[in-house]
Amino acid sequence: MTWTREPVWAVTATYNEAENLPELAEGMRHLPLPPKLLVVDDNSRDGTGEIADALAAADPEHFAALHRPGKMGYASAHLMGIQYALDHGAQTVITMDADLSHDPARIPAMLERLGAADVVIGSRYVPGGGTVNWGVDRRLLSRTAGMLLRLASGMQVADPTSGFRAYRAPMLHAAKFRRVRQEGYAFLSEMLFRCVRAGGTVAEVPIIFVDRRAGQSKLSKTIILEAIGHLFTVAARRITGWRP
């Protein structure tokens, strides 16, 4: 099956990404078969929401916008966006960051792999992948998080904390994604773990992750601590044979 010819939506959560969103939109426009980009904005103060509205008004075939009353979190924004995309006919849902760290040009390769997988990850840690503008501490944190998650979950995925993903719609339903309550890295690991425990297959394609050039990172100590606690939950579920 050629998944690139099915309805494809890309969901991105934004908070103060006015400097980056126009360039992301332009990158999406230049794809051979552009997904519809859904911007879920958390009441940004820098005009991000207004930019998203302008994109949707000018080109409703390829852009849409949702607005939330305040900064409510990365995970809940993606869950809202995924649900909205599915409700509007998406057969494939891509999640990606708005800060230009995820290159839209890699989307065709990700969609191509969906012919033989239920989830495709844009991976920094398979041959051909990598990171740019990361310090040693950031690389160590990312590598350690991935290693610990593989040990806890049993998932043989090189980059389980990557947020650049493509999901087949039936897989999202099977994983019961609406029940996810975690944020940050824990949200990403929970989504992937649910897919795998529901019988889904995972493929990875290489990406070069470029650290944001504008705006501020949303990573916090709270998100890191939640991810550590989630490791114990995942390990316990694996031992007990849990299924979504």
Q: Which domain holds residue 19?
A: 3-240
* Residue 189 parent element (H or E): helix 184-197
Task: Decide the pairing of beta strands 119-123 and 202-206.
Answer: parallel
CATH of the domain at 31: 3.90.550.10
Number of structural domains found in the chain: 1
User: Phi then psi for 237, rounded to 5 degrees?
Assistant: -65, -40
In sequence order, which ranges of the chain are alpha helices (DSSP H)?
Answer: 21-29, 48-58, 74-87, 107-113, 136-153, 169-174, 184-197, 221-240
Strand partners, 131: 209
DSSP 8-class letter at 133: S
Judged on CB neighbours under 10 Å (0-12, 13-18, 19+), 70 is exposed
Provide the pLDDT for residue 133: 87
Provide the pLDDT for residue 4: 47
- Record the pTM: 0.92
Task: Give the chain's radius of gyration (CA, Å).
Answer: 17
**pLDDT tens per residue, the chain (244 residues)?**
444 468 999 999 999 999 999 999 999 999 999 999 999 999 999 999 999 999 999 999 999 999 999 999 999 999 999 999 999 999 999 999 999 999 999 999 999 999 899 999 999 999 999 999 888 888 888 899 899 999 999 999 999 999 999 999 999 999 999 999 998 779 999 999 999 999 999 999 999 999 865 545 555 566 677 778 899 999 999 999 999 9
